[in-house]
């Protein structure tokens, strides 16, 4: 698969990645996964230097289980919002894991195509893991006149919109 980045090109030192992995492992230790026995932890850096993390939370109604990324983006917003720049996710052994398809979409909302992820194969951008992503920018281009007034301006200000304007 193409799109792999050298560590030096990720904008984060190896020590920085190790700290991010450690935060993901710490979150994983708090996972609630009694049904699958598959704990997951995720952590991401925010552009202002914060680290946010989350763990998976299952439910007796199996389909309602929440991935670790759900908690992560909630923590992001609850602690001030901002853009995600680097992301790591680990399994119960603490080894790198890829986000599921749904969570790639969750991450796109807050990190855009340039978010750098650690995967079992190496470092990749989210653009490489979720090609031609649907994002906030599409909500401004596909609107009709009738619902155009629903815009609050937040979508149009998203820096990710510049990358997908074609």
What is the smallest separation between the CB atom of 100 and Zn ion, expressed in angstroms?
Answer: 3
List helix spans (H) across 12-134: 14-28, 68-78, 101-111, 126-129
Active site residue 95: no
**Was 55 annotated as part of a binding site?**
no
- Distance separating alpha carbons of residues 96 and 116, to the nearest angstrom: 13
Taking each helix axis from N to C end, the angle separating 14-28 and 68-78, rounded to the nearest 10 degrees, works out to: 110
Check binding of 52 to Zn ion (CB under 5 A): no
Site for Zn ion in 66-105 (CB under 5 A): 67, 100, 103
Q: Please tell me whether residue 126 binds Zn ion under the rule CB under 5 A.
A: no
Smallest distance from Zn ion to CB 162, Å: 27
What is the DSSP secondary structure assignment for residue 153, as one 8-state letter? S
CB 140, min distance to Zn ion, A: 27
Q: Which residues participate in the annotated binding site for Zn(2+)?
A: 67, 100, 103
């Amino acid at each position: 698969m193409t799109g792999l980045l050298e560590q030096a090109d990720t904008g984060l030192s190896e020590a920085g990645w190790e700290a991010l992995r450690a935060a993901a492992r710490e979150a994983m230790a708090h996972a609630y996964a009694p049904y699958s026995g598959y704990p997951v932890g995720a952590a991401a850096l925010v552009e202002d230097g914060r680290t946010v993390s989350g763990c998976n939370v299952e439910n007796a109604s199996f389909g309602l289980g929440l991935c670790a990324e759900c908690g992560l983006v909630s923590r992001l917003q609850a602690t001030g919002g901002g853009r995600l720049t680097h992301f790591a996710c680990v399994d119960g052994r603490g080894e790198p894991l890829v986000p599921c398809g749904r969570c790639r979409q969750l991450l796109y909302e807050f990190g855009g195509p340039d978010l750098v992820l650690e995967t079992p194969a190496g470092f990749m951008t989210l653009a490489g893991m979720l090609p031609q992503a649907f994002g906030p920018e599409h909500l401004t281009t596909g609107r009709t006149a009738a619902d155009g007034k629903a815009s609050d301006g937040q979508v149009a200000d998203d820096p990710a919109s510049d990358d997908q304007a074609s």
